[in-house]
Amino acid sequence: MASAPPHLLGEAAASPAALRRFLHGLPGVDQVGCEARTASLSTRSIKTTSKAWALDLAISTIDLTTLEGQDTVGKVRALCAKALHPDPADASCPRVAAICVYPDLVATARAALGDSNVRVASVATAFPSGRSSLDVKLQDTRDAVSAGAHEVDMVIDRGAFLSGDYQRAFDEIVATKQACGTAHLKVILETGELMTYDNVRRASWLSMLAGADFIKTSTGKVQPAATMPVTLVMLQAVRDFRDATGRQVGVKAAGGISTAKDAIRYLVMVNETVGDDWLDPAWFRIGASRLLNDLLMQRTKLTTGRYCGPDYFTLD
Protein backbone atom coordinates (compact mmCIF):
# COMPACT_ATOMS: atom_id res chain seq x y z
CA MET A 1 0.00 0.00 0.00
CA ALA A 2 1.10 3.52 -0.55
CA SER A 3 2.97 4.95 2.34
CA ALA A 4 2.97 8.58 3.24
CA PRO A 5 6.36 9.55 4.59
CA PRO A 6 5.39 12.15 7.12
CA HIS A 7 8.73 13.45 8.27
CA LEU A 8 11.86 15.25 7.36
CA LEU A 9 13.61 11.94 7.06
CA GLY A 10 10.97 10.80 4.64
CA GLU A 11 13.59 9.88 2.12
CA ALA A 12 14.36 6.89 4.29
CA ALA A 13 10.89 5.65 3.49
CA ALA A 14 11.15 6.32 -0.22
CA SER A 15 11.96 2.72 -0.98
CA PRO A 16 12.54 -0.51 0.90
CA ALA A 17 16.23 -0.29 0.08
CA ALA A 18 16.48 3.29 1.29
CA LEU A 19 14.69 2.42 4.52
CA ARG A 20 16.98 -0.51 5.07
CA ARG A 21 20.06 1.61 4.40
CA PHE A 22 18.85 4.23 6.80
CA LEU A 23 18.09 1.82 9.63
CA HIS A 24 21.38 0.01 9.20
CA GLY A 25 23.21 3.33 9.16
CA LEU A 26 22.13 4.14 12.70
CA PRO A 27 24.89 3.92 15.28
CA GLY A 28 25.22 0.47 16.81
CA VAL A 29 24.57 -0.27 20.44
CA ASP A 30 27.22 -2.00 22.48
CA GLN A 31 25.36 -4.36 24.77
CA VAL A 32 27.85 -4.30 27.60
CA GLY A 33 28.22 -0.54 27.61
CA CYS A 34 24.48 -0.03 27.41
CA GLU A 35 23.82 -2.36 30.32
CA ALA A 36 26.65 -0.86 32.33
CA ARG A 37 25.07 2.56 31.90
CA THR A 38 21.71 1.41 33.22
CA ALA A 39 23.39 -0.40 36.09
CA SER A 40 25.10 2.83 36.99
CA LEU A 41 21.86 4.80 36.77
CA SER A 42 20.26 2.23 39.03
CA THR A 43 22.60 3.21 41.85
CA ARG A 44 20.99 6.63 42.17
CA SER A 45 19.68 7.08 45.66
CA ILE A 46 16.34 8.88 45.62
CA LYS A 47 15.35 9.85 49.13
CA THR A 48 12.89 11.98 51.12
CA THR A 49 11.41 14.87 49.13
CA SER A 50 12.68 13.65 45.80
CA LYS A 51 11.29 10.21 46.51
CA ALA A 52 7.88 11.67 47.32
CA TRP A 53 7.99 13.64 44.10
CA ALA A 54 9.09 10.63 42.08
CA LEU A 55 6.44 8.35 43.56
CA ASP A 56 3.71 10.79 42.58
CA LEU A 57 5.18 11.21 39.12
CA ALA A 58 5.38 7.45 38.75
CA ILE A 59 1.72 7.06 39.70
CA SER A 60 0.72 9.75 37.22
CA THR A 61 2.59 8.01 34.38
CA ILE A 62 0.95 4.63 34.85
CA ASP A 63 -1.14 3.05 32.14
CA LEU A 64 -3.09 0.90 34.56
CA THR A 65 -3.43 -2.24 32.58
CA THR A 66 -5.53 -5.36 32.44
CA LEU A 67 -5.09 -7.53 29.39
CA GLU A 68 -6.40 -10.93 30.34
CA GLY A 69 -8.76 -13.27 28.61
CA GLN A 70 -10.72 -13.41 31.86
CA ASP A 71 -11.18 -9.65 32.12
CA THR A 72 -14.71 -8.64 33.05
CA VAL A 73 -16.72 -5.49 32.91
CA GLY A 74 -16.65 -5.46 36.67
CA LYS A 75 -12.91 -5.72 36.83
CA VAL A 76 -12.47 -2.87 34.39
CA ARG A 77 -14.89 -0.69 36.37
CA ALA A 78 -12.97 -1.42 39.55
CA LEU A 79 -9.74 -0.58 37.82
CA CYS A 80 -11.20 2.70 36.61
CA ALA A 81 -12.28 3.57 40.12
CA LYS A 82 -8.75 2.92 41.27
CA ALA A 83 -7.35 4.97 38.40
CA LEU A 84 -9.39 7.96 39.51
CA HIS A 85 -8.62 7.58 43.21
CA PRO A 86 -5.58 5.38 43.65
CA ASP A 87 -5.52 6.04 47.38
CA PRO A 88 -9.06 6.72 48.53
CA ALA A 89 -7.69 7.76 51.90
CA ASP A 90 -5.53 10.49 50.42
CA ALA A 91 -7.02 13.02 48.05
CA SER A 92 -3.57 14.39 47.23
CA CYS A 93 -2.64 11.16 45.51
CA PRO A 94 -2.47 11.78 41.76
CA ARG A 95 -4.51 9.87 39.20
CA VAL A 96 -2.89 7.46 36.81
CA ALA A 97 -2.41 8.47 33.18
CA ALA A 98 -4.64 5.91 31.53
CA ILE A 99 -6.45 2.65 31.67
CA CYS A 100 -5.23 0.08 29.16
CA VAL A 101 -7.66 -2.63 28.05
CA TYR A 102 -8.71 -4.79 25.11
CA PRO A 103 -10.94 -3.10 22.48
CA ASP A 104 -14.14 -4.73 23.67
CA LEU A 105 -13.77 -3.12 27.10
CA VAL A 106 -13.02 0.38 25.87
CA ALA A 107 -16.61 1.52 26.10
CA THR A 108 -16.86 0.23 29.65
CA ALA A 109 -13.75 2.12 30.65
CA ARG A 110 -14.88 5.30 28.94
CA ALA A 111 -18.16 5.17 30.78
CA ALA A 112 -16.49 4.51 34.11
CA LEU A 113 -13.97 7.30 33.72
CA GLY A 114 -16.44 9.88 32.47
CA ASP A 115 -14.84 13.14 31.54
CA SER A 116 -11.92 12.74 33.89
CA ASN A 117 -8.51 13.33 32.40
CA VAL A 118 -7.66 9.66 32.71
CA ARG A 119 -7.20 8.40 29.16
CA VAL A 120 -8.40 5.13 27.77
CA ALA A 121 -5.88 3.14 25.82
CA SER A 122 -6.77 0.09 23.82
CA VAL A 123 -4.49 -2.54 22.46
CA ALA A 124 -5.19 -3.39 18.84
CA THR A 125 -3.80 -4.92 15.62
CA ALA A 126 -4.25 -8.53 16.73
CA PHE A 127 -2.50 -7.92 20.04
CA PRO A 128 -0.25 -9.44 21.28
CA SER A 129 1.14 -11.49 18.37
CA GLY A 130 0.10 -9.26 15.50
CA ARG A 131 -0.48 -12.34 13.40
CA SER A 132 -3.49 -11.37 11.31
CA SER A 133 -4.13 -9.79 7.97
CA LEU A 134 -3.68 -6.06 7.71
CA ASP A 135 -7.42 -5.66 7.14
CA VAL A 136 -8.19 -7.39 10.42
CA LYS A 137 -5.61 -5.28 12.24
CA LEU A 138 -7.01 -2.07 10.85
CA GLN A 139 -10.58 -3.05 11.68
CA ASP A 140 -9.41 -3.90 15.19
CA THR A 141 -7.97 -0.40 15.41
CA ARG A 142 -11.10 1.27 14.05
CA ASP A 143 -13.24 -0.68 16.53
CA ALA A 144 -11.19 0.56 19.44
CA VAL A 145 -11.23 4.15 18.24
CA SER A 146 -14.93 4.16 17.54
CA ALA A 147 -15.53 2.73 21.02
CA GLY A 148 -13.82 5.84 22.35
CA ALA A 149 -10.17 4.91 22.84
CA HIS A 150 -7.95 7.96 23.18
CA GLU A 151 -4.90 5.90 22.54
CA VAL A 152 -4.16 2.80 20.52
CA ASP A 153 -1.35 0.41 21.46
CA MET A 154 -0.47 -1.50 18.30
CA VAL A 155 2.10 -4.24 17.84
CA ILE A 156 4.64 -4.22 15.03
CA ASP A 157 4.93 -7.14 12.68
CA ARG A 158 7.99 -8.74 14.27
CA GLY A 159 8.05 -11.44 11.63
CA ALA A 160 8.41 -8.85 8.90
CA PHE A 161 10.92 -6.84 10.91
CA LEU A 162 13.15 -9.77 11.80
CA SER A 163 13.07 -11.09 8.24
CA GLY A 164 14.32 -7.73 7.02
CA ASP A 165 11.03 -6.65 5.45
CA TYR A 166 11.18 -3.28 7.11
CA GLN A 167 8.90 -1.75 4.52
CA ARG A 168 6.04 -4.02 5.46
CA ALA A 169 6.36 -3.23 9.16
CA PHE A 170 6.60 0.45 8.26
CA ASP A 171 3.54 0.45 6.01
CA GLU A 172 1.44 -1.26 8.67
CA ILE A 173 2.25 1.46 11.15
CA VAL A 174 1.42 4.15 8.61
CA ALA A 175 -1.91 2.48 7.89
CA THR A 176 -2.72 2.02 11.55
CA LYS A 177 -1.87 5.62 12.21
CA GLN A 178 -4.37 6.61 9.53
CA ALA A 179 -6.98 4.31 11.06
CA CYS A 180 -6.41 5.95 14.44
CA GLY A 181 -7.56 9.31 13.25
CA THR A 182 -6.99 11.65 16.16
CA ALA A 183 -6.25 8.87 18.63
CA HIS A 184 -2.64 8.67 19.76
CA LEU A 185 -0.70 5.74 18.39
CA LYS A 186 1.65 3.80 20.60
CA VAL A 187 3.76 1.31 18.71
CA ILE A 188 4.79 -1.78 20.65
CA LEU A 189 8.18 -3.07 19.50
CA GLU A 190 7.99 -6.24 21.58
CA THR A 191 11.66 -5.89 22.36
CA GLY A 192 11.77 -9.31 23.97
CA GLU A 193 11.52 -10.74 20.46
CA LEU A 194 13.96 -8.36 18.78
CA MET A 195 17.03 -10.04 20.30
CA THR A 196 19.51 -7.17 19.97
CA TYR A 197 19.68 -3.54 21.03
CA ASP A 198 20.61 -2.68 17.46
CA ASN A 199 17.22 -4.00 16.44
CA VAL A 200 15.53 -2.06 19.22
CA ARG A 201 17.08 1.14 17.91
CA ARG A 202 16.09 0.32 14.33
CA ALA A 203 12.54 -0.61 15.28
CA SER A 204 12.28 2.62 17.27
CA TRP A 205 13.33 4.71 14.30
CA LEU A 206 11.15 2.76 11.91
CA SER A 207 8.14 3.36 14.14
CA MET A 208 8.85 7.04 14.58
CA LEU A 209 9.43 7.54 10.87
CA ALA A 210 6.11 5.85 10.21
CA GLY A 211 4.29 8.25 12.52
CA ALA A 212 4.24 6.72 16.01
CA ASP A 213 3.28 9.12 18.78
CA PHE A 214 4.77 6.77 21.34
CA ILE A 215 7.10 3.83 21.15
CA LYS A 216 6.45 1.11 23.68
CA THR A 217 8.69 -1.71 24.79
CA SER A 218 6.43 -4.70 25.19
CA THR A 219 3.05 -6.35 25.22
CA GLY A 220 3.73 -7.82 28.63
CA LYS A 221 3.02 -11.24 27.13
CA VAL A 222 6.63 -12.00 26.18
CA GLN A 223 9.62 -12.32 28.49
CA PRO A 224 11.68 -10.30 28.94
CA ALA A 225 9.28 -7.37 28.78
CA ALA A 226 10.52 -3.89 29.64
CA THR A 227 14.13 -3.72 30.76
CA MET A 228 16.23 -0.73 31.67
CA PRO A 229 18.68 -1.13 28.78
CA VAL A 230 15.95 -1.58 26.18
CA THR A 231 14.18 1.50 27.46
CA LEU A 232 17.46 3.41 27.49
CA VAL A 233 18.00 2.64 23.80
CA MET A 234 14.45 3.80 23.04
CA LEU A 235 14.94 6.99 25.04
CA GLN A 236 18.13 7.70 23.11
CA ALA A 237 16.20 7.08 19.91
CA VAL A 238 13.42 9.57 20.73
CA ARG A 239 16.03 12.11 21.78
CA ASP A 240 17.93 11.69 18.51
CA PHE A 241 14.71 11.70 16.53
CA ARG A 242 13.67 15.01 18.01
CA ASP A 243 17.11 16.44 17.32
CA ALA A 244 16.78 15.34 13.72
CA THR A 245 13.14 16.18 13.02
CA GLY A 246 11.94 18.50 15.74
CA ARG A 247 9.12 16.09 16.58
CA GLN A 248 8.91 14.68 20.10
CA VAL A 249 7.83 11.08 20.51
CA GLY A 250 6.86 9.49 23.81
CA VAL A 251 8.18 6.30 25.39
CA LYS A 252 6.23 3.66 27.26
CA ALA A 253 7.93 0.97 29.29
CA ALA A 254 5.50 -1.87 29.78
CA GLY A 255 5.67 -5.18 31.56
CA GLY A 256 7.77 -6.31 34.46
CA ILE A 257 7.98 -3.02 36.31
CA SER A 258 6.34 -3.98 39.55
CA THR A 259 8.10 -2.15 42.35
CA ALA A 260 8.40 1.49 43.30
CA LYS A 261 12.15 1.07 43.29
CA ASP A 262 12.07 -0.08 39.67
CA ALA A 263 9.73 2.71 38.65
CA ILE A 264 11.95 5.36 40.21
CA ARG A 265 14.94 3.89 38.41
CA TYR A 266 13.11 4.35 35.13
CA LEU A 267 12.28 7.94 36.02
CA VAL A 268 15.92 8.57 36.89
CA MET A 269 16.88 7.13 33.54
CA VAL A 270 14.38 9.35 31.74
CA ASN A 271 15.66 12.32 33.69
CA GLU A 272 19.30 11.72 32.85
CA THR A 273 18.82 10.60 29.27
CA VAL A 274 16.20 12.92 27.81
CA GLY A 275 15.51 15.26 30.71
CA ASP A 276 12.57 17.30 31.90
CA ASP A 277 10.83 17.36 28.53
CA TRP A 278 9.90 13.72 28.87
CA LEU A 279 9.21 13.68 32.63
CA ASP A 280 5.51 14.01 32.03
CA PRO A 281 2.67 11.56 31.47
CA ALA A 282 2.24 13.10 28.04
CA TRP A 283 5.66 11.75 27.05
CA PHE A 284 6.53 8.90 29.38
CA ARG A 285 4.33 6.06 30.55
CA ILE A 286 4.75 2.93 32.55
CA GLY A 287 2.42 0.12 31.58
CA ALA A 288 1.71 -1.91 34.70
CA SER A 289 -0.88 -3.56 36.87
CA ARG A 290 0.87 -4.56 40.11
CA LEU A 291 3.15 -1.53 40.28
CA LEU A 292 0.51 0.90 41.53
CA ASN A 293 0.02 -0.82 44.85
CA ASP A 294 3.72 -0.83 45.62
CA LEU A 295 3.93 2.86 44.78
CA LEU A 296 1.02 3.47 47.11
CA MET A 297 2.64 1.46 49.89
CA GLN A 298 5.86 3.43 49.56
CA ARG A 299 3.91 6.65 49.42
CA THR A 300 2.14 5.77 52.63
CA LYS A 301 5.43 4.84 54.26
CA LEU A 302 6.77 8.28 53.43
CA THR A 303 3.75 10.08 54.83
CA THR A 304 3.21 7.92 57.92
CA GLY A 305 6.80 6.95 58.64
CA ARG A 306 5.96 3.28 59.04
CA TYR A 307 6.00 0.33 56.67
CA CYS A 308 2.72 -0.82 55.17
CA GLY A 309 1.24 -4.17 54.22
CA PRO A 310 -0.52 -5.24 51.04
CA ASP A 311 -3.77 -5.89 52.87
CA TYR A 312 -4.31 -2.17 53.11
CA PHE A 313 -4.53 -1.68 49.33
CA THR A 314 -7.12 -3.03 46.96
CA LEU A 315 -6.00 -5.66 44.52
CA ASP A 316 -7.71 -3.95 41.63
Residues contributing to the site for another protein (CB under 8 A): 27-34, 36-37, 43-51, 53-54, 57, 195-196, 236, 243, 267-268, 271-272, 276, 279-280
Q: What are phi and psi of 118, to 5 degrees?
A: -80, 125
- Pick the catalytic residue: 137, 177, 186, 252? 252
137 is annotated as an active-site residue: no
Cβ distance 137 to 176 under 8 Å? yes
Q: Which of 303, 214, 221 is nearest to 255 (CA)?
A: 221
Nearest approach, Cβ of residue 282 and another protein (Å) = 11
Sign of CA dihedral 274, 275, 281, 287: positive
Q: Which of 199, 268, 205 is nearest to 237 (CA)?
A: 205
Nearest approach, Cβ of residue 28 and another protein (Å) = 4
Q: What are phi and psi of 11, to 5 degrees?
A: -60, -25
The beta strand positions in the chain, using DSSP E, are 62-65, 98-101, 119-123, 151-155, 184-188, 214-216, 250-254, 284-288
- Pick the catalytic residue: 213, 216, 262, 294? 216
Q: Is 61 exposed, middle or buried (0-12, 13-18, 19+ CB in 10 A)?
A: buried
Nearest approach, Cβ of residue 198 and another protein (Å) = 9
Nearest approach, Cβ of residue 114 and another protein (Å) = 26
177 is annotated as an active-site residue: no
CB closer to another protein, 236 vs 293: 236
- Pick the catalytic residue: 63, 87, 140, 153? 153
140 is annotated as an active-site residue: no
CB closer to another protein, 1 vs 195: 195
CB closer to another protein, 45 vs 92: 45
CB closer to another protein, 168 vs 242: 242
The residues that are catalytic are 153, 216, 252
